[in-house]
Structure 1
Amino acid sequence: MEWHQPPAALVRTMNVVLRGVLPSPLGRGVGEFMLLAFTGRRTGQRYRVPVTAHRVAGDLCALTPAGWRLNFRGGADVDVTLAGRTTPMRGVLVEDRAEVARIYLDRMTELGMRRAARMIGLKFPLGRLPALDEVAELARREHFGVVRLSVRT
């Protein structure tokens, strides 16, 4: 299994399109993606990041190796736009590496290789789902992270 990201130009273009579509009425038809709007911990800069929406044990989560995930260390407020609706939520970065690996493997198993490749950004050159130790190694090497989202109270 390998981490695979589309070309940077395609990612930039898709991000621009999704930032416009997700909060609009058209966003109701794009339930696979969500828009996270949050403030950077150190910079105070406002971010709007489109990501794939994942359900993990009933929780809404973002699975990503991107550096912005660190803004959720210890928890941070985030406005989540999903299916055209914005909800104030709290995001918390999952810090336990073993838990991160289990979450990724569970999602791969639920999605199957084809959908996991598209929704998580993975390649399966061996033609099979990986074992937990293989996922843990890739998660460590590629800095995989999970941001768990819950409704703000």
Structure 2
Amino acid sequence: MTAVVEWHQPPAPLVKTLNAVLRAVLPSPLGRGVGEFMLLAFAGRRTGRRYRVPVTAHGDAQGRCALTPAGWRLNFRGGADVDVTFAGRTTPMRGVLVEDRAEVARIYLDRMTELGMRRAARMIGLKFPLGRLPTLDEVVELAGREHFGVVRLSVRA
């Protein structure tokens, strides 16, 4: 049976190259023209190792967030400080991992609906083999299977 929505990531060498370019461009004056991406700079929760992760910038009524199935998202469990570079400006923020699978699925579905299938495919990394948006239950299943996560970002006080 074909899934309504599937996780789809570009080839690893392309992702690695794009990430290297974005790490250099986003904090520079050229970063002002790249409003689709943001750079997250944070410390690992166990090792203290510094990370600089470029991600697609997402937002909703509650503010800016990062949508990802990547393991680095776990550094934000319980909250962590992060410097967010977006549109050429760096802002000290607090990132918190959204743990509730139903809420994660709702956020993903809201973004898919807002962006439409074509832009959601590019900005979130999804495929829609049946040519329609999924239901909330279908996104809950995908979020659990692919370990989707949401890191909510708010300005640090």
TM over 0.5: yes
SS of corresponding position for 1:12: helix
> Tell me, what secondary structure is at the counterpart of 2:99?
coil
Distance 1:140 1:28 in 2: 35
Q: Which deviations, in whole Å up to 9, do the C-alpha atoms of 1:12-70 show, x marking residues without a partner?
A: 00000000000000000000000000000011100000000001224100000000000
- Partner of residue 71, structure 1: 75
Match of 1:53 among 54, 57, 79: 57
Does the alignment pair 1:37 with 2:41? yes
Deviation at 1:109, TM superposition (A): 0.1
Q: Which shows bigger deviation, 34-43 or 55-64?
A: 55-64
Q: What letter is aligned with 1:119?
A: M
- The partner residue of 1:62 within 46, 61, 66 is 66
Three-state SS of the structure 2 residue aligned to 1:93 is strand
TM-score by length of 2: 0.97
User: RMSD value over aligned CA atoms?
Assistant: 0.5
Equivalent residue of 1:44, what SS? coil
Q: Runs of at least 4 residues of structure 1 off by over 6 A?
A: none
Structure 2 residue ranges without an equivalent (≥5) = none
Give the aligned partner of residue 96 of structure 1. 100
The answer to whether residue 127 in structure 2 is matched with residue 116 in structure 1 is: no
Opposite residue 62 of structure 1, the aligned amino acid is A
3-state SS of 1:110 partner: helix
Distance across 2 between alignment mates of 1:141 and 1:43: 27
How many matched pairs? Answer: 153
Amino acid at match of 2:51: Y
Question: Among 20, 27, 32, which residue is 1:28 paired with?
Answer: 32
Counterpart for residue 6 of structure 1: 10
Matched letter for residue 40 of structure 1: G
Paired with 1:96 and 1:138, the residues of 2 have a C-alpha distance of: 14
Query: Are 1:130 and 2:125 counterparts?
Result: no
TM-score by length of 1: 0.99
Q: Secondary structure at the match of 2:150?
A: strand
2:62 & 2:25 partners in 1: Cα distance? Answer: 25
- Where do 5+ consecutive residues of structure 1 fail to align? none
SS in 2 for 1:36: strand
